[in-house]
Chain A
């Protein structure tokens, strides 16, 4: 049991890989999702309601389905097979990005819609450019945006279906905490699986605790 808790190189690599893949996917989802959520919250355009419906559906999309779609796109014989991304961390980032982005857009839209519709007008007449306006509005909506980041990171760091399908669970390149737990369980290494599970929960808790501290400090 003592060996199990020892920070062996393999476990450390898996933890770092999980953090890196889910962290990058979350960051990309924020980069795309926050501006998209801002536009959807603030602008009226044809098809907006349908788009919001699709985003809300996307927030509950089973990761395994997203993984399957990404696999079809990236597999060697697929339309983007030539890119050689299948069974790489990049494919996992892409799948997790697609899972996280609707969540970020959905929470961002809701939190910005809760602000005064005149806020962006005020910032515009005060002289803020588009990026500055987006930044200041994001700060005003920070509680909701931090919820979006926590929900997105929490969902993708703990998902297993998409990661196995597009990453292939390769020991030295695409094995992450969730897929490692599946592997260890299937090998009968229940104790090791349990420890990895605890590490995953601890990791998720640490990230969420850090974000919660920021969120509560920012509480209006």
Chain B
């Protein structure tokens, strides 16, 4: 009942197509990652659903209602945006605007900040928080609204190593507490696969795949989706084959390819062979015990996992 549905939605900007979604259903109560390269229309899609972007044609509905009301949604923006006030005041604002009573307001804020681990920051100025703290405060602001639709636009963008690692580990637990229909925009395949149940792959403003993440990740079917998911695409005797990230191994196998070595990257813990299969640049991890090749060597590599792509949509 809490599905998000888009029908014939089209957005043009300065005579350039930004988004063209003929028909898309994102299932209620699940987390859907909207995945695509930069400029593919991911954020625009989220803004259209939130009513922040005017559509030229089409309609968006949520839970069967023709318009997504602001009271139905919580939105975490890609860039951190706060009033120049304390974290507490920033969290209170949305609740006050939605008419939440004082006692309940306090309980919700305390619950949200505890969940994201920032109760000690409540009286700090929100606009002066560090990147990681600000991300948590943004999540707490969305969380305490208890909205049935949660929109997260690159919620981990700009975080450094440890802050990123902490938050990506905690996000699944936080998303579970939302118990909402959650749409997560990301350009990271790993984030999408770790955090979401479903995937929508957007390239050039158009949806190229939508559905359960396992099905799409196992069989991307078209070149654009395979590229977004980090597959290596090889053309062999007129067939387009997609190899999942990390699937190439040194040595022969059922499906093998000749690789011309261009460089060896020493990453301390392991070595990586950079080379070309035909015109396609690939990377193959050199396992311990294997002889490290040198520039110009010809190697045989194989992949046990691969899928054949259809022609582009």
* A residues with CB within 8 A of B: 116, 118-119, 121-122, 124-128, 132, 136, 139-140, 220
Contact = CB atoms under 8 A, between A and B. Distances in A.
Interface string B39-73: 00000000100111000000000000000001101
Nearest to A143: B84
Nearest to B83: A140
B72 to A, nearest CB: 10
A118 B81 contact: yes
B94 A126 contact: yes
Most chain B Cβ neighbours within 10 Å, of A125, A140, A220: A125
| Binding site secondary structure of chain A | helix
A217 to B, nearest CB: 13
A127 B98 contact: yes
7 pairs of A and B residues whose beta carbons are closest in the complex = A126-B94, A127-B97, A125-B75, A220-B84, A118-B81, A127-B70, A116-B81
B93 interface: yes
B77 A126 contact: no
Contact of B81 (A119, A128, A132): A119
Contacts of A124: 51-52, 70
Given A116-B81, A119-B81, A122-B81, A128 B75 contact: no
Contact of B93 (A118, A121, A126, A220): A126
Contacts of B145: 126
Interface of B: 47, 50-52, 70-71, 73-75, 77, 79, 81, 83-84, 93-94, 97-98, 125, 127, 145
| Binding site secondary structure of chain B | mixed
Contact of A132 (B51, B71, B97, B125): B97
A119 B82 CA distance: 7
A1 to B, nearest CB: 50
Contacts of A122: 75, 77, 81
Contact of A127 (B47, B71, B79, B83): B71
Given A125-B52, A126-B70, A140-B84, A118 B97 contact: no
B73 A136 contact: no
A118 B80 CA distance: 9
A124 B74 CA distance: 11
Contacts of A140: 83-84
Nearest to A219: B84
A122 B127 CA distance: 14
Contacts of A136: 83, 93
A120 to B, nearest CB: 9
A121 B73 CA distance: 13
Nearest to B71: A127
Most chain B Cβ neighbours within 10 Å, of A118, A119, A136: A118
